[in-house]
Structures are given as C-alpha cells and as structure tokens.
Amino acid sequence: MKKYFLLNNIIRTVPILIILFIFSCNGKSQVTVKEIQGHIQYLSSDSLKGRLTGSPGDSLSAVYIRGKLLSYGLIPLSGDGLQRYKVTKRVLAGKSNFLLVDGVNYTLDKDFMPFAFSSNTGMKSEVVFAGYGFNIIGDSLKWNDYDGVDVKGKWVMILRGDPEPENNKSPFISFSADRDKALLAKDMGAAGVLMVSGPAFDPQDAFEALNLEGYSVDIPVLRIKEEVADIILSKSKNAIASLEKKLNDTRKPFSFSTKVIINGKAEIVRELANTRNVVMLLPGEDPKLKDEYIILGAHFDHLGMGGPGSGSRALDTIGIHHGADDNASGVAMMLELAEKFAETKGSHKRSILCLSFSGEEEGLLGSKHFVDDPGIDLSRVNAMINLDMVGRLNETNNLQISGVGTATGLKDLVYGNSDTSIIKLTLSEEGYGPSDHSSFYGKNIPVLFYFTGAHMDYHTPTDTWEKINFKGMVEISDLVFKVAEELASETTRLQFKEAGPKTEANRYPRRKGVTLGIMPDFAGVIKNGLRADFVTPGKPADLGGMQKGDIITFINGKQVNNIQDYMFRMGQLKHGQTISVEVLRNDKKVVLVIQL
C-alpha cells in the first residue's frame, strides 16, 4: 500500500516538476515588490544621509549599485565599472586675501570678503565710486554710472542692489546682480571691484556664504563693510548711507574719484570631492547587434542634509533628505530591469548599458561627464531610457513619458507595448527636460523619460520609502521592459529626430528679452566658452548659421566664458538688433551675423 501511494505521488508530481523545469529554462526573472522595496529602503536609509554628491553616502550608493549589477552577471564597461570625476563641494576664502587702506590692514571675514566669482589676483590703484554700477540703455530706462569717469585699470566701488529696494517689480532688478555688475565693470575697463551694501539695501550688512555657482569674472571682486567704504570715501566728504539716499531719491547717476589708493587681493579656494558614475554592461546576444546599445539610466544622488543652496524645498530644515522617490525609485527599477534582462534569454540582441549617475541634482553633472567621455561610440546607441521619480503612481494611474518625438515611430512603439487599461499615459514629444536624458538628447540619441509626477514630498526630508507605490512600480517595470526589449532586439535602428525644446529650457532665471534659440551647456563642460547643445530650428541662432556643438566665445566682441557670461550678454540686447557671435567650430573660429 505504501508503495502504491509513493508511486501515485510521484506520477502526480512529475507534471509540476516539468513545468518548473521549463520555466527555469526560459530563465525569465520577475520584478518583485520585495526586491524593489529592499533597494529603496537601503538607498533612502538614514545611514546614507541623503546621498549628497561627493559624500560617503554617494560613494556607498555607487558601490551598492555596482555590486548588485555584478551579481546579475553584468560586467564593467571598463575598469571596475566606476567612472570617476571631481565636483566642487565648497568654496572658501584663501589665506592670501588682504585689503590695505592708508596703511591699515583690514581683517578677512570681519571687514571684507572675496566673492566666489572673483579671480585670484590683486592690485594697488585708485578707487572710483561708480554708484550702482549700471550702464542701462533702454527705451524707458537709461542710467550710466560710468559716464564722465575714468575707471581703466582702477578699483571701482559699487553699491549693491538698486534704487528701488522695496519694489519687487522694479525695472532695475534685471541689472542688479552682483556678478553682472562686476562683469560690466570689467567691460568698462576696471581692474578690480569693491562692492558695498547700503543701509537701505541691507541694514545688517552681513556677509553671505560663498556660492558654488560663481564662475570667475577674471578680476578681483571684494565685498567690503560699509564702515570700510566710508573710510575710503572720507577724503571726498561722502559716506555710503548718504550716497545711497542721494541715488535713490534723485534717480540720477553720481560717480567720482575718491583720490584714495588701496592695495588688495582676492583668493578663492575651491574644495573638490570625488564622485563617480556606475557604468555596467550586459553584452548583447546577437553577434551582429551586440556592438549596438540601449541605455537604462537613473541617477542615485540626492540633496544630503538639505540647507541653503541645496535645492531643498524645506528651506528652514536641516535633516536627511531621503530621496526615496527622487531617485532611489529609478535606481531600484533600473536594477530590477537589469536582472530581468540578464535572466531572460532572447531579450536583448543589442548590449544593454546600465548607467547610474551622480551629480544630477547639481546640474546633470554625471550624465554630462559620461556623454563627453563615454567609452563607447554614442552613434551606436539605439535609445536611452531614463528612470527618474517612478515611485509615486497615484490613484489616477497616470505615467508621464517624455521624448516620444525623438525618433520616428517611437510613440507608436510606446503605445504598442502599453496596456492603457492598467496605466494611463501622458506623452510629451520633447527630448529635453530636467533630468539626465537631456544630456543624451543633446548627442542626437533618441530618449524616453519615465516619471510618475511631482508631489508635496519632493525635495524635502519626507520623501521616504513608506510612501512608495511598490505595486505601481512593478506595473511600470513591466511596461518599460517591453519597450526596452523591443528597442534591444528589433533589427531596425531608430532614426533620431529633433523634438524641441519649443521654448528655451533653463536652470537660471531668465531676464525678459531676446533669445538666440539655443539650449546652452548648463553643466559647464566646456571652459572658456559656452557650447550650444541644441539649436532650435527657425530661431535666430539657426537662421544665422549656428550649429549644434558650436562653442560661443564672443557676443558683439565681448567675451563669453560660461553660462553666466552668456546670460548677462543676452540681457543687454534688444529685439531686432543684429549682433556678431564668434564661435569655435571644429577648432576653427567662425563669425556669425545674427538678427534677434
């Protein structure tokens, strides 16, 4: 009897074993809530302290991601799979700063401070007071503080702010930025700038922290206290408070030589930190297509502990910004998709490059670094899929996908692999957006950007793992896998197509006014110039002959070294004006005549 029952059980069990064997041979891994949750819980944990670029948490994140991809069978694209680079983490006043007035040596951080956009130079010369440092030539607003004074080779003392400190809609606001004033002073021939806050502009007269984003204006620029400025002005029987009041009341320039000679020097020290991208490869299964690629990308950095200048929306809060949705969710999905591709036979004739970027929150630094030093031929990339904030699918089940216009037929491919009865799609044609896919679109690569939308926890400490919709992430993963599988396996390549931007996307607040119609290189990859990463068809730059990749070096004969110089130069121009723009194209100078 026991033998009968044993035989009967074996017979009944065999079909199940056969099914399990067939399933295991198929090797199709499944994305699971448990695994996604595990990735997100670790990446958004307190121990990583918000994954600030260049921090220990940033480094541990990269090691974790690389380790998981290695365990799935992926291999480093080169070296150990970590693409290292450096970022500026802190700007400090150096030990060589000094200010000497009438034999008195003033104290750094008490009496004066350099600006972050200062050069590391100094000089001894006369000081000229130049009001607010304006040279405004407009139809309804005219003001020239440099008229009638000689500032060439001299220190120029300038009031910060503008004559309407209480007016948030003042027409002077566009001309009042400290760096813009310093650059204009340099254009007018000044060899150095002293900036001072009047009591109407800043009654506290307190020094601000040095800003990481301050590109140098190539002359020394010092912020001095009002009492130091008054000592320099004393020979002319003037004082900052009375000069500020005079300018604000009369709305007329008042500039003069102080007849005082000072000796000063600025020194800025930029502290660098190491960071890295994770760059891992799953080789393609087809001998002919394995040298082509699709890219799965997601950034892993976040805002660290928040605080001023971090991008945190919780302005008064210092605390761990966990970044569960932004962007532990995208990394978790990328990892799970990598495992699924690795274990699903026949899923990828092309090679799959899994990239995880640092520095996204600080200006797409990691993705910009990769596309400028990719280690592969980017022309062989069929598409880049970017996963950024994919963890908050809400009750409407709406998923936003951008970039469907960046290749012919891409929109149909996305729709054809989507069950819209489960997830509703909101599609955008444009290839540019506020995440890492923009770096690839600028290199003529078709892109798709998956995003479940912003929420009140965005860029705050409350973006935690408990609020993630894990079931929704599994559903989105299934959709992305189907799209990626077709992109990785269809023998016909996508044909890149420009799709936007319809308006000029910008990380900097733009003045109202003219535009060339380009997408500038916001990450500042190019030094001593500004690269046009995209030229919008039909806009002034395009009509004037500018091409994608041109490096703008001069506008109307005035130097452009970076994005801030460019924005300042454009802010001085008018609609209808014809300008000359000098660019570097394939290391050759080209002068373009462009009508705005």
Domain that holds residue 532: 518-595
343 and 235 in a single domain? The answer is no
Instruction: Decide which of 489, 510, 538 is a domain's last residue.
Output: 489
251 and 371 in a single domain? The answer is no
Q: Does 188 fall in a domain? A: yes
| Closest to 59 in 3D by CA, of 69, 49, 46 | 49
Q: What CATH number should be reported for the domain holding residue 339?
A: 3.40.630.10
Q: Does 498 fall in a domain? A: no
pLDDT tens profile 487-507: 999 999 999 999 875 333 433
Q: What CATH number should be reported for the domain holding residue 539?
A: 2.30.42.10
**How many folded domains does the chain comprise?**
3
Name the residue with higher pLDDT: 318 or 576: 318
242 and 203 in a single domain? The answer is yes
Cα(549)–Cα(323) distance, rounded to whole angstroms? Answer: 34
pLDDT tens profile 66-77: 999 999 999 999
User: Which residues have CB under 8 Å from 291's CB, separation 6+?
Assistant: 284, 351, 380
471 and 328 in a single domain? The answer is yes
- CB of 439 closer than 8 Å to CB of 433: no
Q: Is the pLDDT at 47 greater than 90, yes or no?
A: yes
533 and 584 in a single domain? The answer is yes
Q: Which percentage of the chain shows pLDDT scores above 70? A: 92
Q: Does 229 fall in a domain? A: yes
pLDDT at 200: 94
User: For the residues 232-244, what does the mean pLDDT come to?
Assistant: 96
User: For the residues 349-367, what does the mean pLDDT come to?
Assistant: 95
Q: Does 7 fall in a domain? A: no
127 and 215 in a single domain? The answer is yes
pLDDT tens profile 124-174: 999 999 999 999 998 889 999 999 999 999 999 999 999 998 888 899 998
262 and 294 in a single domain? The answer is no
Phi, psi of 116 (to 5 degrees): -65, -25
Return the ∠ at Cα 487 (arms to 486 and 492), rounded to 5°: 95
User: For the residues 270-293, what does the mean pLDDT come to?
Assistant: 96
- What DSSP line would sit under 208-249, residue for residue? PPPPTT----SS-EEEE-HHHHHHHHGGGT--HHHHHHHHHH
Helices (H), 124-211: 178-187
Q: What CATH number should be reported for the domain holding residue 235?
A: 3.50.30.30
Q: Does 315 fall in a domain? A: yes
Q: Does 24 fall in a domain? A: no
76 and 187 in a single domain? The answer is no
Instruction: Decide which of 266, 282, 301 is a domain's last residue.
Output: 266
Return the ∠ at Cα 218 (arms to 200 and 584), rounded to 5°: 125
Q: Is the pLDDT at 1 greater than 90, yes or no?
A: no
pLDDT at 133: 97
pLDDT at 139: 82
Q: Does 345 fall in a domain? A: yes
Work out the pLDDT band at 28, boundaries 50, 70, 90: low
pLDDT at 212: 74
Q: Does 222 fall in a domain? A: yes
pLDDT tens profile 174-230: 899 999 999 999 999 999 999 999 999 999 999 988 877 678 999 999 999 999 999
211 and 284 in a single domain? The answer is no
User: Which residues have CB under 8 Å from 129's CB, separation 6+?
Assistant: 156, 157, 233, 236, 238, 243, 255, 256, 257, 258
Report for 109-118, 430-439, 513-522, 538-547: range of highest mean pLDDT? 109-118
Secondary structure of residue 206 in the 3-state scheme: coil
Instruction: Decide which of 266, 290, 309 is a domain's last residue.
Output: 266
300 and 238 in a single domain? The answer is no
83 and 182 in a single domain? The answer is no
The first and second tokens of residue 254, run together, are 């008042």
Q: What's the pTM?
A: 0.78
Q: Is the pLDDT at 336 greater than 90, yes or no?
A: yes
pLDDT tens profile 84-128: 999 988 899 999 999 999 989 999 999 999 999 999 999 999 999
330 and 237 in a single domain? The answer is no
